[in-house]
Amino acid sequence: MASRIVSAALLALALGTAPVAAAPSAQLTTSVAQRLSNFGIRVDPEELTTAQASALHILLVSERGYVNVRRRAEAILRNPDYRD
């Protein structure tokens, strides 16, 4: 019984550490970069972080209006919170 508690505690401690960020999928970043070019925003797909690619993808599939999408996309790209 004690070994189970120790094992559970060690597992909880291990899971509590900071997660490792995985690189975004090449398909996602390429798609996002191509769609951003429709709004006059040029980005290198390899420069996008996972957080940026995800947020931009959601923006591009959910928002309407050229100016609104462009403004929000530029804000995502500038925001340090979206850096992995």
- pLDDT for res 6: 45
Structurally, the chain folds into a number of domains equal to: 1
| pTM (2 d.p.) | 0.72
- pLDDT for res 3: 55
Q: Is residue 9 part of a domain?
A: no
- pLDDT for res 42: 97
Q: pLDDT tens digit string along 5-30?
A: 545 544 454 555 545 567 889 999 99
**Average confidence (pLDDT) over 41-49:** 95
**3 state DSSP class of 66:** helix
Q: Is residue 1 part of a domain?
A: no
> Domain residues for 45?
20-82
Q: Is residue 3 part of a domain?
A: no
% of the chain at pLDDT higher than 70 = 75
